[in-house]
Amino acid sequence: MESFNDFIANLSPWLQGLLEGIGLPEIWARVVILSIGGFALAFVPLVAVIFLIWAARKIIARMQDRIGPNNSGPYPGPYALFQTFADAIKMLTKEDVIPTAADRWVFNIAPIVMLTVAVLIWAVIPLGKGITGADLSIGIFYVLSLGSGGMIALMMAGWGSNNKYALLGALRAVANMISYEVPQVLSVLTVVMIAGSFSMQEITEAQNIPFLFVMPVTALLFFVSSLAEVGRQPYDLLEADSEIVAGYFVEYSGMKFGQFYLSEFMNNFAISVITATLFLGGWRGPFVDSVPILGSLWLLLKSLLVFFILLWLWGSMPRLRIDQMLNFNWKFLTPVALVNVCVVALVGKAVPLSAGPWMRAGALLSANVLLAIAVLIVLALAGRRARRRAQAWSVTQMEEEASPA
Amino acid sequence: MTLQQVLFIIFGAITLGAALMVVTRRNVFHAALFLILSFFGVAGLYVLLEAPFLAAVQLFIYVGGIAILILFAIMLTRDMMNPNVTGANRQWWLAALVAVALCAVLGWTVLNHNWAVTPGDVPAESIVNLGKALVDPAGLVLPFEVASVLLLVALIGAVTIARER
């Protein structure tokens, strides 16, 4: 195990020596090594997603009292593990249909942009102690700013298809992403305030107590708004098949559809990993100090736990209407996120780091719990008022019916 | 030629080439997409200048906010994509005047400013310095707070409009 860790750490100097030995100038050796690293990093999510698609099909099938892909029938591999490979081969061999009236360039580039953005996120995710593609000082902010690239890809797909359903889907998707970006960014802001850094590694290092137990409201806000960002149930109205067929990728076939499907899954897994990193302590866990490579395993387990919750929602939640979705964001999530930022900032300043980590965490946790209770009380009052108004309305309706003018 | 210079030329070419396409395309949607590409090129230049925060802000604000707004405006405006409608209207000479004036001011600034071209050391913690400068009473706290309050008001205004009676 120890040697494996050294293996990763020593790989780059060793390769550098090897490449310079065969006569490459130092700078080009560096370029080759960075490219290899980039490819390796891009393969992590791609390979993970191939099996996650299988897991998602299997788990959701069980939730819906089905068996899903299995040993019987034509599925390849034990427990149909290789079904996704078969799907990929099928997609690669299918005819690539481009609508006559489509904006060809925009139509063809959109899936590439989408997949590029989905892969780029993985550059800053800390996969273990000291194992990061690039430990940028702006880490989490880089992830958030990449989201805008995804929006552009959706717009390109929706517009380029020259199909009203695709355009409607893209408009819905972008409205969704723009509005839920607000609570997402505000919840990330509180994490950054408490951790004192944008860097994903430093945020992980700052979590002696996982932030889920320090700021549960923030964690919930982040997870919910991230679900909306990637358009997962209950926010899947951007591809609502009963209303707009499949939304922005309705005109795509073959591997272009595959690219959208793949990047969607990669984004889902990415928000699971990011939630695990920001709120569950990332790669931190028992025995990581003695066996650092164990950190990757902890991160994987935590991410899979979050991913399972995502699948759970996927398998059990009905779809929101667009007005419900926007109302939920602007009337509920955004105000709560704003108040949350104020609360965390005040408590974080009132109980300084010198008061000890437990003291600070306890203060933040109690403030967060109080905030949650206050939010629930406000919700209960608003609900009661709405019920009373509905009741009054139905009473007047009945009176009008009883005494026709 | 160092790697930095190669990358600078690539990003510069992307920025300028895309900017040229923005003003020459007849298709407004394509022009908007090239504008986005140009923003990406500028973000790359920021990264080369070791200002990653500014690069991310460039993507976040210009691509995620302004470019999306432009795309929405194009999609929701009638006759915008009609090839028979020319891009110019009766105010073209006014626009040309403003463009020439802006170009003159920028050119004058570029030529007359004393640019530090020696490769100085970029402070390692530039983002920390930026953060401190933004809340420093002797620094930029007033414009920073004014902008923050303005944005907060806009946000709360959006919530208020959403809560129609």
Please give the model's pTM, rounded to 2 decimal places.
Answer: 0.84
Q: How close does chain A come to B65, measured CA to CA in Å?
A: 8
Q: Choose, out of A27, A112, A141, A329, the residue to mutate when testing the contact with B (most B CBs < 10 Å).
A: A141
Residues of chain A under the 50 pLDDT cut: 1-5
Helix (H, G, I), strand (E, B) or coil at B60: helix
Q: Hey, what are A358's tokens?
A: 């437990």
Q: Is A144 on the interface with B (CB under 8 A)?
A: yes
Q: Which of B29, B64, B75 is nearest residue A151 as measured by Cβ atoms?
A: B64
- Cβ contacts of residue A158 below 8 Å, gap of 6+? A166, A167, A168, A169, A170, A171, A173, A247, A248
Average pLDDT estimate for B126-148 = 83
Which candidate, A154, A316, A308, places its Cα nearest to that of A234? A316
Does the beta-carbon distance from A327 to B75 stay under 8 Å? no
Q: Choose, out of A145, A178, A199, A325, the residue to mutate when testing the contact with B (most B CBs < 10 Å).
A: A145
Report pLDDT for A316.
85
A-chain CB neighbours of B159 within 8 Å are 330-331, 334-335
Tell me the β-bridge partners of A128.
Answer: A131
Q: Which of A142, A151, A334 is nearest residue B68 as measured by Cβ atoms?
A: A151
What is the spatial distance between Cα A10 and Cα A28, in angstroms, rounded to a whole number? 19
Q: How close does chain B come to A121, measured CA to CA in Å?
A: 13
Nearest Cα residue in chain A from B128: A197
Helix (H, G, I), strand (E, B) or coil at A191: helix
Q: How confident is the model at residue B105 (pLDDT cuts 50, 70, 90)?
A: very high
Yes or no: say if A113 and A258 are a contact pair by the CB < 8 Å rule: no
pLDDT in tens, B45-67: 988 887 888 888 888 888 888 88
Q: Which of B71, B72, B159 is nearest residue A335 as measured by Cβ atoms?
A: B159
Q: Hey, what are B161's tokens?
A: 């409009």
Does the beta-carbon distance from A326 to B59 stay under 8 Å? no
Q: Is A98 on the interface with B (CB under 8 A)?
A: no
Yes or no: say if A197 and A185 are a contact pair by the CB < 8 Å rule: no
Q: Hey, what are B35's tokens?
A: 């504008």
Report pLDDT for A10.
64
Q: Is A331 on the interface with B (CB under 8 A)?
A: yes
Q: Is A394 on the interface with B (CB under 8 A)?
A: no
Q: Report the Cα–Cα distance between both ends of chain A, in Å, rounded.
A: 87
Report pLDDT for A136.
75
In A95-253, which residue ranges form alpha helices assigned H by DSSP? 104-120, 139-160, 164-195, 200-205, 216-230, 241-244
A·B CB contacts under 8 A: 82
Does the beta-carbon distance from B65 to A148 stay under 8 Å? yes
Q: Which of A142, A171, A331 is nearest residue B56 as measured by Cβ atoms?
A: A142
Yes or no: say if A255 and A261 are a contact pair by the CB < 8 Å rule: no
What is the spatial distance between Cα A367 and Cα A373, in angstroms, rounded to a whole number? 10
Yes or no: say if A341 and A364 are a contact pair by the CB < 8 Å rule: no
Q: Choose, out of B25, B75, B148, B153, the residue to mutate when testing the contact with A (most A CBs < 10 Å).
A: B75
Q: Is B112 on the interface with A (CB under 8 A)?
A: no
Provide DSSP, A43-77. HHHHHHHHHHHHHHHHHHHHHTT---S-SSTT--S
B-chain CB neighbours of A338 within 8 Å are 152, 155-156
Q: Is A300 on the interface with B (CB under 8 A)?
A: no
Does the beta-carbon distance from A171 to B68 stay under 8 Å? no
Yes or no: say if A276 and A226 are a contact pair by the CB < 8 Å rule: no
What is the spatial distance between Cα B43 and Cα B12, in angstroms, rounded to a whole number? 10
C-alpha torsion sign, points B134, B137, B142, B147: positive
Report pLDDT for B20.
92
pLDDT in tens, A197-233: 888 888 888 888 888 888 888 899 999 998 888 877 7
What is the spatial distance between Cα A359 and Cα A363, in angstroms, rounded to a whole number? 6
Q: How close does chain A come to B158, measured CA to CA in Å?
A: 7
Nearest Cα residue in chain B from A331: B159
Helix axes A294-316, A26-63, angle to 10 degrees: 40
The interface pTM score, or ipTM, of the predicted complex is 0.77
A-chain CB neighbours of B2 within 8 Å are 27
Report pLDDT for A2.
44
Does the beta-carbon distance from A103 to B29 stay under 8 Å? yes
Q: How close does chain B come to A128, measured CA to CA in Å?
A: 23
Does the beta-carbon distance from B59 to A151 stay under 8 Å? no
Q: Choose, out of B71, B77, B126, B128, the residue to mutate when testing the contact with A (most A CBs < 10 Å).
A: B71
Q: Is B70 on the interface with A (CB under 8 A)?
A: no
Nearest Cα residue in chain A from B160: A331
Q: Is B159 on the interface with A (CB under 8 A)?
A: yes
C-alpha torsion sign, points A325, A328, A334, A340: negative
Nearest Cα residue in chain B from A106: B30
Does the beta-carbon distance from B64 to A326 stay under 8 Å? no
Does the beta-carbon distance from A27 to B71 stay under 8 Å? no
